[in-house]
Amino acid sequence: MSEKNVIPKNETVLSVSDLVVRFEGGGRQSKKKIVRAVDGVSFEIVRGEILALVGESGCGKSTIAMAVMRLLKPTSGQIISGGVNLATIHGRALQRARQRIQMIFQDPFGSLDPRQTVMEAVSEPLLIHKVGDSAGERKEMVFEALRMAQLNPPERLSENFPHELSGGQRQRVAIASAMILSPELVVADEPVSMLDVSARAGILRLMMDLRDRLGVSYLFITHDLATAWVVADRIAVVYLGRIVETGPSEVLVKNPAHPYTQALLNASQDGDATISAAAMVLKGEAPSAAAVPTGCRFHPRCPKYVELGKPESCRSEDPRLRVIKKGEITRRDHSAACHFTDEVK
Amino acid sequence: MNARYFVRKLSTLVVTLFLTVSFNFLLFHVLPGSPVQLLARSGHYDAAAKASLTKLFGLNHGLLTQYFIYLKNMVQGDLGFSYTYRKPVTTVLGAAVGNTVLLVGTATAITVFIGIWLGVKAASRANSLTDTAITVTSLTLWSMPDFFTGMILIFAAGVWTHVLPISGIETPGLTVGWLGHLLDIAKHLILPALTLMLVNAAEFSLITRNAMVDVMVDDYMVTARAKGVAKKVIVWHHALRNALLPIVTATALYVGMVLGGAIQVETVFSWPGMGLLIYNSVEQRDYPVLEGCFLLFAIAVIATNFISDILYQVLDARVRNN
Ligand SMILES: Nc1ncnc2c1ncn2[C@@H]1O[C@H](COP(=O)(O)OP(=O)(O)O)[C@@H](O)[C@H]1O
Ligand code: SF4
Ligand SMILES: [Mg+2]
């Protein structure tokens, strides 16, 4: 894959702290249960950085994305971007903020309005935010964005409706429409998971390429640790609405500190690198955000917990994210939420 | 436009028309109770008179021959002779059709606009108080028979307050200029049109609301919000455009409903249109007139369906390129 060590300007484009999102009565089986979809999540993204959120289906990744986009109102917490707290603003202020943060969705077949031509879809952000002086100028900007997304020839493709395009082409249209306002941050929720395998690499390469050329940052969501490793500068592993480990991709993959990350990686080494396959390796019932276990939320499935003789603290104390110490070296940018990280080799 | 689709729909139209015409023939010729028997019920007719009547209506021929004569006459624009009015059916219908078109046309134009507007309002605040109010009112109005709504309006506007005329299309013996005449007709139009409108706008608002609610949870709605599209634009531009197909289909069905409704409303308000004509002809057993009315209604419904099929294709990019 292409060069990804662009020197970031260290300017924070997004800072999320203690984000909590709860849904009421979300449980199918029981009435009026509270679903703790996001349960105290904090992270930062600097300019030009790609942060991957990795986790099993249902762990709250999309909910985090929706909260950052303010497509839903968080229960509590702060989402700071461009000097404003997105969690509390609304109306015009929110409208303005939306110019700086755009989103690419998982399903390119559903995310484009079937009645909008490519031209209409990609030029819509320009019209909303009143960018471009004339129709001609906007048209030229759309062509440029399509060219940037490698949709050639843009003059012809801009006339097409979504159903006339392949999945990969549609996702490029989504990318063009997200990039046309030169946003600081793009939230991409599993942008390749619904595409044919043959189209995936091209889309990922395009996204990384745009980061290098435009300096845009990504909150990149995936359930696939291998993809995260390839694409992201940093990875945050999410388990039941909480980040359980975070660090530079290289460090996290080579020296995982949390038993959950370790289990995922063990499974990955067996050939199939996807987390859904990895999750099968873990014992215990599938986690539910409607019934988060006491103490460490991972303890019912944790191999380490069994190995250590089921210590009381795992059942009673909720571990906080702590910086990993390894001998004398402390990696400030690598932390995990486990009472026993020191015991990890 | 796709030519094959057009030809297919057009041939469906022709076949349906032919079947309808044939069914109409069967309905009036095969079912028991010939016009001669009906006319002879009063007892004034002797055998010779009956025979000449039989000949007059062409009933002396075999059924198949009658059928061909019926088709031939129809093509020539001859729909038979009215027993009660003693005029050709086409003449009798001609006077009534215009009045019905005026009533139904006015009601439909207002119905579609108000119905869609209310439906969009309800859907854009799904489950709010506005939505509940619109939905409950619509359901109530929709479930009321047209004549009942009409009678309530007659009492409210005609009997209690005397603000509007409740019967006929114009005030008899009124001597005013053409403008005054027009205003007089407009005043007579208000209550029957309002009755038709109340019932059918309710239906439109419910259909629009449900189609909109379905569309509003689609992924591209979220995309539009994420782009920063204003709520109003999302609702009127993205959602309504995508919800339009069920609404077009509903319009096609609506024409059948509104014609049925017109029979009741015209009867209640003595509006001299086809509805009132049907009502009177049923009472008089004036079969040729009924036959003509049924035929026109059927043609109206079939033609509307054809138009909605074509509109469907124009609207739906997926059908268009298929
Ligand atoms: N609108 C909602 N109402 C109730 N529960 C929800 C809603 N959206 C998501 N959830 C629940 O929140 C949890 C996290 O979902 P999600 O964020 O979609 O996970 P992911 O994207 O990681 O698969 C799941 O348990 C899901 O069932
Ligand atoms: S705190 Fe205990 S249960 Fe939780 S991950 Fe660490 S060892 Fe496992
Ligand atoms: Mg998801």
- The CA dihedral of B34, B36, B38, B41, to the nearest 10 degrees, is -140
Give the residue from B215, B216, B227 with the most A CB atoms within 10 Å of its CB, the best one to mutate: B227
Mean per-residue pLDDT, B192-196 = 88
pLDDT of residue A53: 97
Mean pLDDT value across chain A: 88
- DSSP-derived secondary structure for B246-276: HHHHHHHHHHHHHHHHHHHHHHHHT-TTHHH
pLDDT for A8 equals 47
Among the partner residues A98, A110, A124, nearest to B219 by beta-carbon distance:
A110
Q: Per-residue pLDDT for B322 more than 50?
A: no
Q: Is the pLDDT at A244 greater than 90, yes or no?
A: yes
**Contact between A246 and A52 (Cβ < 8 Å):** no
Kindly write down the DSSP assignment for every residue of A18-50, as one continuous string.
EEEEEEES--SSSTTPEEEEEEEEEEEEETT-E
Q: b/e for B163-189, b at 16 or more Cβ within 10 A?
A: ebbbeebeeeeeeeeeeeeeebeeebb
Residue B58 reports pLDDT greater than 50 = yes
pLDDT number for residue A275: 55
Query: Which residue type does B83 have?
Result: Y
Residue of A115, A118, A190 best to disrupt the B interface, most CBs of B under 10 A: A115
pLDDT winner (highest mean) among A224-233, A272-281, B56-65:
A224-233
Stretch B268-290: mean pLDDT:
88
Whole-number pLDDT of residue B265: 87
Tens digit of pLDDT for each residue in A76-119?
A: 999 999 999 999 998 888 888 888 999 999 999 899 999 899 99
Token pair 């008179």: residue: B49
pLDDT of the residue at A22: 96
Query: Which range in A92-106, B61-75, B256-270, B306-320 is most confidently predicted, on average pLDDT?
Result: A92-106
Q: With CA atoms as reference, report the closest residue to A185 among A99, A302, A122.
A: A99
Pairing assessment for the beta strands A12-24 and A76-81 based on DSSP bridges:
antiparallel
pLDDT at site A281: 58
Give the CA count within 13 Å in the CB-facing half-sphere of B30.
Answer: 9
Helix (H), strand (E) at residue A51: strand A50-54
Partners of residue B232 in chain A, C-beta under 8 Å = none
A57-66, A203-212, A313-322, B120-129: least confident range: B120-129
Q: Does an H or E element contain A324, and which?
A: strand A322-326
- Tell me phi and psi for residue A333, to 5 degrees: -95, 10
Burial class (CB in 10 A: 0-12, 13-18, 19+), A97: buried
Q: Confidence class of residue A298 from pLDDT cuts 50, 70 and 90?
A: very high
CA of A190 to nearest chain B CA: how many angstroms apart? 14
A164 and B321 in contact by Cβ < 8 A?
yes
* The pLDDT of residue A30 is above 70: no
Helix or strand or coil: residue A35? strand
Domain borders along chain A are 255-343
A174 contacts B223? CB cut-off 8 A: yes
| Alpha-carbon distances, residue A324 vs A248, A250, B147 (angstroms) | 13, 15, 80
Exposure string of A113-147, with b = 16+ CB inside 10 Å and e = fewer, is bbbbbbbbbbbbbbebbebbeeeeebbebbbebbe
When pLDDT is averaged across residues A309-335 and rounded to a whole number, the result is 87
Report the C-alpha gap between B84 and B81 in whole angstroms. 9
- Please return the burial class of A192, using the count of CB atoms within 10 Å of its CB with bins 0-12, 13-18 and 19+: buried
SS3 A18: strand
Largest CA distance in chain A: 70
Residue A119 to residues A33, A180, B44, Cα–Cα distance (Å): 44, 12, 79
Ligand 1 within 6 A of CB of A27: no
Report angle CA A8, A10, A12 to the nearest 5 degrees.
Answer: 120
pLDDT-derived band at B130, boundaries 50, 70, 90:
confident
pLDDT-derived band of residue A3, with 50, 70 and 90 as boundaries?
very low
State residue A29's pLDDT score: 53
pLDDT for A276 beyond 90? no
Query: What is the Cα–Cα distance from A16 to A85, expressed in whole angstroms?
Result: 9
- CB-nearest to B225 from A71, A99, A177 is A71
Residue A31 has pLDDT above 80, yes or no: no
Residue A189 CA to ligand 3 centre (angstroms): 7
User: Is the pLDDT confidence value at B29 over 90?
Assistant: no
pLDDT of residue B248: 83
> What does the pLDDT read at residue B162?
72
Give the gyration radius of chain B's Cα atoms.
24
B chain contacts of residue A119, beta-carbon cutoff 8 Å: none
**From CA A45, how far away is CA A53, in angstroms rounded?**
12
Give residues (CB < 6 A) around ligand 2: A 259, 296, 298-299, 302, 304-305, 314, 319, 338-340
* Angle (CA) B201 B202 B204, round 5°: 60
Q: Which atom of ligand 2 is nearest to the CA of A311?
A: 2
* Res A151 pLDDT > 70: yes
pLDDT the model gives residue A103:
95
Which among A188, A169, A192 has a CA at the least distance from the CA of A61? A188
Rounded to the nearest angstrom, the distance between the alpha carbon of A63 and the centre of ligand 1 is 6
What does the domain layout of chain B look like in residue ranges? 88-285
Q: Is the pLDDT of residue B173 over 80?
A: no
Q: What is the DSSP letter of A70?
A: T
Pick the CATH number of B88-285 from 3.50.50.60, 3.40.50.300, 1.10.3720.10, 3.40.640.10: 1.10.3720.10
Q: What's the mean pLDDT in B259-264?
A: 84
Contact list in A for residue B317 (CB cut-off 8 A) is 114-115, 161, 163
> In terms of pLDDT, which residue wins out, A87 or B82?
A87
Protein residue whose Cα sits closest to atom 5 of ligand 2: A338
Nearest to A115 among B222, B230, B241 (CB): B241
Lowest mean pLDDT among A35-44, A146-155, B281-290: B281-290
| Range B151-163 average pLDDT | 76
How far is B271 from B103, CA to CA, in rounded Å? 9
Residue A66 Cα, ligand 3 centroid: separation in angstroms?
Answer: 10
The total of other beta-carbon atoms located within 10 Å of residue B215's CB is: 22
Supply the pLDDT for residue A272.
Answer: 53
Give all strands of the β-sheet with A76-81 in edge-to-edge order. A34-46, A12-24, A76-81, A84-85
Q: Do B219 and A105 touch (CB under 8 A)?
A: yes
- If DSSP codes are grouped into helix, strand and coil, which group holds residue A88? coil
Task: Quote the mean pLDDT of chain B.
Answer: 83
Bigger pLDDT: B164 vs A23 = A23
pLDDT at A1 over 50: no
pLDDT at position A80, please? 96
Instruction: Please state whether the peptide bond connecting residue A311 to the residue before it is cis, i.e. omega within 30 degrees of 0.
Output: no
Determine, for residues B226 and A98 on separate chains, whether the beta-carbon distance falls below 8 Å: yes
User: What is the whole-number distance in angstroms between the Cα of residue A324 and the centre of ligand 2?
Assistant: 15
Q: Which two tokens stand for residue A54?
A: 């990795």
Q: Does A99 touch chain B (CB under 8 A)?
A: yes
Mean pLDDT of B69-82: 84
What is the per-residue pLDDT across A277-294, written as a single tens digit (0 to 9) for each?
Answer: 455 556 666 678 888 999
Top-confidence residue, B165 or A60: A60
Give the other-Cβ count within 10 Å of B121's Cβ.
19
Tell me, what's the pLDDT at A334? 93
Least confident range from A198-202, A268-272, A301-305: namely A268-272
* Residue that is written with structure tokens 């819509």 in the block: A124
Please give the C-alpha separations between residue A231 and each of A81, A109, A120, A192, A249, in angstroms, as whole numbers: 23, 23, 30, 12, 9
Query: In angstroms, rounded to a whole number, what is the distance separating the alpha carbons of residues B18 and B77?
Result: 15
User: Smallest Cβ distance to B227: which of A115, A124, A163?
Assistant: A124
Closest to B213 measured CA to CA, from B130, B133, B123:
B123
Higher pLDDT, B98 or B79: B98
Best mean pLDDT range from A340-344, B14-18, B127-131: B14-18
**Structural tokens at position A5:** 């060590």
pLDDT of residue A345: 46
| Mean pLDDT confidence for A110-136 | 92
> What's the CA-to-centroid distance between A173 and ligand 1, angstroms?
27
Q: What is the number of other CB atoms lying within 10 angstroms of the CB of residue B31?
A: 9
SS percent in chain A: helix, strand, coil, step 5: 35, 25, 40
Residue pair B193/B220 in contact by the 8 Å Cβ criterion: no
- The amino acid at B95: A
For range B126-147, the mean pLDDT = 84
The pLDDT confidence band at residue A2, using thresholds 50, 70 and 90, is very low
Three-class SS of residue A332? strand
A285 or B140: which leads in pLDDT = B140
Distance CA B216, CA B222 (A): 9
3-state secondary structure of A236: strand
Query: Would an 8 Å CB–CB cutoff place B222 in contact with chain A?
Result: yes
